[in-house]
Amino acid sequence: MKRISIIFLFFSLFVFSQHSKPELLEKINSITKGKKATIAVSVLGIENDFQFSNANGNLKMPMMSVFKFHIALAVLNQVDRGNLALDQKILVKKSDLLENTWSPIREKYPDGNVELPLSEIITYTVAQSDNNGCDILLRLIGGVKTVQKLMDVNGVKNFQVKYNEEEMAKKGVQAPYANYTTTASMVKTLKAFYIGMFLSKRSTAFLMEIMTKTNTGMTKLPGLLPKVRMARKTGSSGKMKNGLTIAENDSGIVTLGSGKHYAIAVFVKNSMETEEVNCGMIAQISKVVWDTLNKK
């Protein structure tokens, strides 16, 4: 009887996957149709093998602040190795707190010269997307090459990080394109993280909790959903003077009503639409994915 139930469950999941994907693609295409933007979407089941990408799922997309998730992985990998500690105090100098960049740390400690625990800097960097915190962490671990090496060693494909936040700001409009991933790669990385392939159980739980406190981009993936547990990392270029938005991104791990999970990444590139339209598309896509996967 148990064997029959298991076979039936597998068959049901297979049928669900086969029938839901065309319908999901049709709904997503209706949302993105006619928009002056490139939209990439990927979804990956955590506890099952459901996977979906639209036509742009393997297209290289600028990450913007989404790469702070990968940086956090690299920092916590060093914690797991014993090279760093979460309660370790890090001296944040005034010279670390660059002006004209998004930085809640600078807003709270404008004069710098304060010692903050590593855990607090990670929280600022991930949950509030602090640009200065990001570069402080990168200096601590030896720069972007350490992040790239960790991704390469763990088999992460279609991922490149070349510049930190300060360098991106200085190098101009083309620099963000050098820090790229694909949405298909992003959801695979999120799943690998969640199931413990990158970090210890303690570090995985620590980063998951921080990501659930993300308060940036609230009109994106969570915008149209009921109150659900969602661990996210967002990214946004803002709008250039010519009206171009290089990237408007959101990615994360969502908990379904059943308690199961899925990873989702929706990245918008080279958009001439307004911020409201860009974020609205992400929210609408998130909602149709939720509705599709939350069906019994």
Contacts of 56 (CB under 8 A, 6+ apart): 38, 39, 40, 41, 183
Q: Look up 286 and say whether it is catalytic.
A: no
Of the candidates 65, 103, 203, 236, the residue annotated as catalytic is: 65
Q: Pick from 150, 120, 77, 92: which is nearest to 210 by CA?
A: 120
Contact 110, 92 (CB under 8 A): no
Contact 107, 124 (CB under 8 A): no
Q: Pick from 270, 264, 249, 271: which is nearest to 66 by CA?
A: 249
Q: Look up 209 and say whether it is catalytic.
A: no
Of the candidates 165, 185, 203, 237, the residue annotated as catalytic is: 165
CA dist 263 and 193 (Å) reads: 11
DSSP string, 22-58: HHHHHHHHHHHTT-SSEEEEEEEESSS--EEE-TTTT
CA dist 91 and 116 (Å) reads: 7
Q: Pick from 172, 178, 171: which is nearest to 64 by CA?
A: 178
CA dist 3 and 225 (Å) reads: 36
Contact 220, 282 (CB under 8 A): yes
* Active site residue ranges: 65, 165
